[in-house]
Amino acid sequence: FTLIHMTAYHALWDIVNMFEKDWKWFWGIPGDIWQQYICWSFILLSGFCVSLGRNTCKKAVLLLLCGAVISLVTHIIVPEDRVLFGVLTMIGSCTLFMASVGKLLKKVNPAWGMTLCFIFFLFSQNINKGYLGFFGWKWIRIPESWYANMFTTYLGLPAPDFYSSDYFSVFPWFFLFLTGYFLYQVFEKNQWLPLLTRLRNRPLEWIGKHSLIIYMLHQPVIYLILLCL
C-alpha cells in the first residue's frame, strides 16, 4: 500500500518538476503531509521487517549497492536532480547495523525501546537544518562547524554546499527504523503476529514481496510513460 502511494507521489513529482506543471498544492502542506506519510511508513515497515527471514547482512549489502546504482545513474543522466544518500542507502546502513548488533538489542525491553526510539526520532527531526527539535520547534542549536563534509552529511549534518533530490541521512531516520524493529518485538512478545495474516491481500502482498525491484524500476518506467503521453 505504501509502495502504491510512493509510486503515485513520484509520478506527480515528475509531472510537476520535470514537466513543469504548476500544481502549487504539491509543494504545499497537502503534498508535505503525503510525502511524510510515505517516508514514515516506508522506514517504519523496513525496521519492522528486518527481523523477518535470514541473511540480514546480505540484504544490507544489496540495498547499499542499489543505492549506489541510483546515485551513479542520476548523477550521469540528471545531475541537477541527482540522488546522494537516498532512502536505500539509509535503509541499507540501518540494516547492516542491525546485522551486527541485533542480538544485543533483543535484550532491551521492546516497549521501552520502541517508545524511546520514537521520542529520539521526533526530537531529532530538525537535525538536517541545524537544530534538535520537533518540526517547527527549534530547541537546541547544533554548532555549524559540525556540518562539514560528506561523512557528516551521511550521518545527518549536511555540508553547506550539499544537494540531493532524495536525501535520507542516517539520523533522524535510524530512530524510526529502530522504532519499527522494536514494534516487531512487541508483536512477537505478545503473540500478535498471527493477527496480521487476517489482513492479507494477495495483490498488495505480491507488491510487497517485490518491493526492491519495483522501487528500482518505477521511476524510469513512469518517466517513459509520461514522455509517450
- Per-residue pLDDT at 199 exceeds 90: no
Share of the chain above pLDDT 90, in %: 76
Q: Hey, which residues does 141 pair with through a beta bridge?
A: 131
- Looking at residue 52, the DSSP 8-state letter turns out to be S
140 contact partners, CB below 8 Å, separation of at least 6: 131, 132, 133
pLDDT tens track for 53-107: 788 999 999 999 999 999 999 999 989 889 999 999 999 999 999 998 988 998 9
Identity of residue 71: S
Contacts 24+ apart (CB under 8 A), 50-54: 50/94, 50/95, 50/98, 50/102, 50/177, 50/180, 50/181, 50/184, 51/102, 51/181, 51/184, 51/185, 51/188, 52/184
- Looking at residue 87, the DSSP 8-state letter turns out to be H
Mean pLDDT in residue range 116-123? 97
Dihedral sign computed on CA atoms, order 218, 170, 167, 110: positive
- pLDDT number for residue 213: 95
Strand residues in the chain grouped as ranges (E) = 131-132, 140-141
- Per-residue pLDDT at 140 exceeds 80: yes
- pLDDT number for residue 149: 96
Confidence at 198, pLDDT banded by 50, 70, 90: confident
Identity of residue 160: P
- pLDDT number for residue 196: 86
- pLDDT number for residue 105: 92
